[in-house]
Each structure stands twice: as C-alpha cells, then as structure tokens.
Chain A
C-alpha cells in the first residue's frame, strides 16, 4: 500500500441524484434531462470517489421584463428580456443553457400581482417554446405562492421540474403539490444546517422522498457571507458522505441573484475608477462566487450573466 493510498478517505454514504426533466418516454416533453448530485466524495477529490454528474448550470429568467437588473446584464441578452419567451429561447439556443430557472417575479403583489392562472398559462407556453428541463420559483410572497405554485405545478405535471421554495414556515402546500405532480422541491434554509436538516425531515414526513429534495442553503456573494454558506455546505456534505441521509440532498445555489445586487458587481466605474471595467467586474464576481460554491459542493448553479455561466461551465466539468 503506497503512502498516498493510506491517506485516502473511504466514504460510506453518497449524495442522492435528482433528475430534472422528463423525456417523452417518461411522460414529459423535454428533449434532455439534467442529473444533479450523486457524488460519492467531496468536490474535485477524484482519487477518493466518483462524481457521476457534472455540476449543472442554469440560466435564470423571469416571467416579466426584469425591473431591477443592472443594464449591462440586460444588455448581455441583446434586448430579448422584454419578452420572456424570446428570452428563454435565447438562453437555450444562443447561450446553450442546459437548464432554465424561471422566477415568477411578476406574481408578487408588489410587482403587479399576475394571477396564478396567467402564470400557469405562461409556463405551459414556456414548456412548449423550449425543451430543456425547468426550475420554477415562486414570487417570494408565501400567501401568493401558496395559490400560485400548485396551479403551476399542475400545468407542468409530468415534466419532472424542480419547484421552489419550501421553507420551515411554509412547506406543506408546495410539498403536496409537487408530490402529486411528480416534481422535486427546493428546500430553503437561512444559512442554518440544523434548519436545513429539520426541513428535509418535515418534507419527507409528508411523503415526498428525500431523493426528490434539493437543498438551497442560502448563499451570499463573494464578500457577502459566502464563507458561511461554504462551511455549512461542507459540513452537510461531510455528514452526507458519512451516511446521514437527511442531509444527503444535492445543493442548488442562486449565484446570479446574490451577485447582481452587490456593490462590487454593479457600481459605476465613475464611482470607483480603480475597480476597473464594470461589465467584466460583474461577470468575474458572479463566476468567482460560483467557483467557490462548486468547491463547497454545489450541484446546480443558477446564474444570470451568460458569459459568467459559460466560464463556470469550463470549470464545473472538471469536478
């Protein structure tokens, strides 16, 4: 036995694999599927075990033109963000997205309050317009989401999407809906591993198997608490590999959402001349945040800038 072999860790457990998207033969209409999770060791330690699946990179779109996105982010899509279906099409065809995350921001009471029926119809059109697997997120208002998401879940029945988000205070309605319609769920916890674990148990107690849960540990961008998220993800993953099934779900990280609101990504060059080119800076901030999260064990990265997504894909495939 060589010295090096003696140092290698042997893990008992593994991360569950959640397959997003269902093709025709499985009752869906997706042209491809994305497998998230399945790791048998820590990220990038390929001598200790296998990572059967590359980390997935999703581009994020909204159901309405983005109101609060910085202009260079909007400009990166060349004007299509005014029409969400064209936007989705550009993500897939022009930027090669393997996975699309749509946030139903327009349903929020403060953002126009689009009706659940309207959103469900939009999702049906979206599913017809693009054939990549879908992640669907509510508007973030619990009361609205509890009427909105069940209808949306039903509209996409059989497509095996990922729906979010469930939280410790609001998980029952969404869990029931996705269980019935064959989707998976995003379980969101506030940078707190104890709550993350508890939420997984609560959701699985309602009858949705742990294998259909993806954890959102809540992340911060580089410089904004990224290290807290990192250490929680690392601890959860160590426990999962040691056999704790209740934290053995894949991670989803909303890197775009967190990055494109921090000063370093959006501040004008005129305000901080020594920070350099604004567009490059934002892309780099998102890509660097995402790469750190890959090291922490992220399985799905939801990103906003197509250039940052393109860069991170080159790194993710080495995992």
Chain B
C-alpha cells in the first residue's frame, strides 16, 4: 500500500473526519431550515427579498457553496491543523521519520490526503445542501424549477472546483501553523485566531484596501457570487473571482512551502 493510500485510510478511519463533516452538514441543514422558516415571518420586509434570493434557484447553489466556503473553510482550518498537529502531539511522526521516510514527502502526501478528504466532504455537503435548498425553497413556496437548469448544472463542476481550492487553501493555513508549532492545539487556536482577526480587521480604518488580499478573504472570493454571505461586511469589496483564484493558489503554495520547510528543519524531540 502506498503512502497516499494509507494516509487516506488513516483519515477515513479517524472519527474527526466524520465529526467535522457531520457538523458542516448539520449547520447547512439548519441554515436552510432557518431560511425557509424566516420567509413567512419577514413577509413585506426588505430582508424577505434577500432571503428569497438566497433560496431561489439557481442562486441557491451558490448559497450552498458560500456556506461551504465559510463554515467549511473554518472547519477545514481546524481539521488540517488537528491531523498534522496530532502527528507531532502523539509522536507518530517520530516513527515515520525513523523509518527513513522523507519529511517533505510525508508532509505533502498528508496534505494531499487531507485535500482529497475535503473534496469528498465538499461533495457530500453540497449534495446535502442542494437537497436542503430544494426542500427549503419548496417549503417557502418559491419552487425549485431552476435547480435543473442545464446551464446552471453545467457550471456546477467549476463552482465545486473553486470551492475545493478555497477550502483547501484555508486548510493549508491551519496545516502550516500546526506544523510550525508542532501542535494540534496551537494550529487550531492560531488558525482560528488568524481567521477571526482577519474578519474583524475590516473595522480598522483603511484596512479595507488590503483586506481583500488577505488569505481568508481571498478564499471566500474564489466563487464569483458567493459574496452574498461574506462580502459587504464593513463595506469590504472582494476581489474578482479570477484574481482571487490566483491569489488562493499563491497562498496555498506558500502555506505548503512553510509547512514543508518546517517539517524539514524540525528537530523532533516529542
């Protein structure tokens, strides 16, 4: 069995993988239930139009993807940090290195396995989210005819691909931090702190000029119309999705370079 296959097996057998997915799927279902319920209550108010826009197809697909990029990205930071951080905290990396395995290969293959698991998670979450959106739209009396629009369906692979990149980029940040600190908790804590500090920096005067280029904002901008959820906060204007794509790739590569350099140089004393 190759290192990638065994890394996937480790992740598939790890309860954390399924707990994280369950949290994401659960949140998405609850959000759509909430949106469906709120349509009736907001009747005649300005917010009703916005909620209808979120639930109506084909926009609802982007709504689902927006949640995955937002909640899912945050969970991906935690997940990736937990996976690589555990190798240090539990000392399992010691046995791997002592067998003569390349630290760089191990780091990259572990991240690749995480990315594959994230891909599976995104597919599951999108499927559940789309189904929830259909049910919510029907319950709200909006109908779901647009869900099967051929043009919309043709665009879903790209939508999911961009989402996968955005979520993976966010995971790479948690991964790199956990690798540098050689700790699960440090990776999770610092990753989340980084995420929230970036979100609240929008309140700092003039920060809006540079914030769209910050890693988590970049990740949230890789899908063109996902801005219904994330942008606009504090007047922040997101990057256009194609620029965000390039920046996202850049951050992903940078985070992996930092992680592999950290692994390569580390003196393993745990």
Do chains A and B interact in one complex? no
Point out residues on A near B: beta carbons under 8 Å. none
Point out residues on B near A: beta carbons under 8 Å. none
